[in-house]
Amino acid sequence: MKQVNAKASIRRLCPNLYREDGLETVLEVPIPEEMFASMGSNVALRWQNMLTWMKAQTPDKLASPIFAKRLSELRFLLYLVGSPLIPLQVQLGHSIHRPVRDSSIEASTAKYIVQQYIAATGGPPALNALQSMCVMGQIKINASEFHQTSDNREVKKSSEEIAAFLLLQKDPDLWCLEMLASGCKVCSGSNGKVSWRHSSNQQSPASKGPPRPLRRFLQGLDPRATANLFLGAACIGEKIINGDDCFILKVETSPAIREAQSGSNYEIIHHTIWGYFSQRSGLLVQFEDSRLIGMRTKDLDDIFWETSLESVIEDYRYVDGVNIAHGGKTRTTVLRYGEQSANHKREMEERWKIDEVDFNIWGLSMDCFLPPSAEHRS
């Protein structure tokens, strides 16, 4: 794989802790050096502490209130901030081209901007040649507690979590993400027919839904998916982002798509996406989306969750002729209201960095994208 830095910032191999001459084990998910360094005063102690921690995750320990609360918080952060989904089917397998004729001025302008973005990220030949992708990276998440919306609270630095992730994708819409933080491993993916997510510490079956793309692809990681998403957008104006003049493209999720993506106990009321494309470079420099979900409780009360995510996309570099963003920051705001209670708000911030990325990976079969239950049956 293509390494971003000469000095490795993640560990991929675990030594044999029982035999000095034993072969090293390839870790399913790489471990950031910063996370590994916090586990002990020397390398041998760190591996022993990690092994002890993993052995301690027995069903009775997982069921203890303190442990369960900690894991619930980690799952919340990794699901909502680390691996959010977009409730919109992006046609990844289609050619990045759509006719301009019979379109409004706003839609025609958006298509022109997207064509400039395609050129800035490598051009149609390079993007259409991509059949699969493998990415290793790491994130840091800071979060506040839920508080009333009238309070102004800064995101706490003391609650920082460090996580590593491994991401696989195969054209057109097969993908799998594994993310690890403090021993809590979260898996999510799509096999083209259903999307799913599950935690290694979760006793219940994996939650499933309609196939949806991972939001992380649209943060400068998959230019073709981003182009296909915004080909159906409208240009609604301009804005200066970090001193850069940008065009604003807007995508509204249609009622039919919202209905198809809703579940038996929740409804997607609205979902809007904005992309900010630099007039100077043609690249996507900021990506935003906002969604409102209504849920019905057992007591027939309505609870509403409004989630807004704003991603600043940075550090574009070429990999095999494709211009990929290797870092950035996402700020997430969650509002909860209804159920005859005061409005509550929570703010989270994620900084991510890509360590390695490679394209057109040989040997990626359907087994790599199976939901956990199907994987166990096989």
| Contact predicate 368/352, CB 8 Å | no
**Spatial separation of the C-alpha atoms in residues 71 and 32, rounded to whole Å:** 20
**Spatial separation of the C-alpha atoms in residues 251 and 16, rounded to whole Å:** 51
Helical H segments across 18-158, by residue range: 33-37, 43-55, 59-63, 65-77, 105-120, 124-128
**Is 39 inside any structural domain?**
no
**Is 54 inside any structural domain?**
no
pLDDT reading at 378 higher than 50 = no
Beta bridge pairs of residue 286: 276, 312
Tell if the pTM clears 0.75, that is, is over it. Answer: yes
193: containing domain:
74-377
Phi, psi of 59 (to 5 degrees): -55, -40
**Is 367 inside any structural domain?**
yes
**Is 16 inside any structural domain?**
no
**Is 67 inside any structural domain?**
no
Find, among 330, 31, 309, the residue nearest to 182 by Cα: 31
Percentage of residues in the chain having pLDDT higher than 70: 73
pLDDT at residue 205, rounded to an integer: 61
CB atoms within 10 A of CB 293: 19
**Spatial separation of the C-alpha atoms in residues 162 and 374, rounded to whole Å:** 30
pLDDT reading at 218 higher than 80 = yes
Beta bridge pairs of residue 167: 135, 177
Find, among 31, 68, 61, the residue nearest to 47 by Cα: 31
**Is 51 inside any structural domain?**
no
**Is 36 inside any structural domain?**
no
Beta bridge pairs of residue 336: 305, 344
Q: Report the CATH number that the domain containing residue 342 is assigned in CATH.
A: 2.50.20.10
**Spatial separation of the C-alpha atoms in residues 152 and 158, rounded to whole Å:** 17
Tens of pLDDT, residue by residue over 92-125, are: 544 555 565 666 889 999 999 999 999 999 999 9
pLDDT at residue 144, rounded to an integer: 79
Cβ neighbours for 154, distance < 8 A, ≥ 6 positions apart = 144
Tens of pLDDT, residue by residue over 177-187, are: 988 877 677 88
**Is 23 inside any structural domain?**
no
pLDDT at residue 137, rounded to an integer: 92
Joined together, the tokens standing for residue 104 give 């409004």
- What length is written for the chain? 378
| Contact predicate 330/311, CB 8 Å | yes
Find, among 319, 131, 351, the residue nearest to 224 by Cα: 131
| Contact predicate 173/152, CB 8 Å | no
Find, among 217, 98, 237, 227, the residue nearest to 168 by Cα: 217
pLDDT: which is higher, 159 or 4: 159
Radius of gyration (C-alpha) of the chain in whole angstroms: 21
Tens of pLDDT, residue by residue over 232-255, are: 899 999 999 999 999 999 999 888
CB atoms within 10 A of CB 32: 23
Number of domains in the chain: 1
**Spatial separation of the C-alpha atoms in residues 378 and 374, rounded to whole Å:** 6
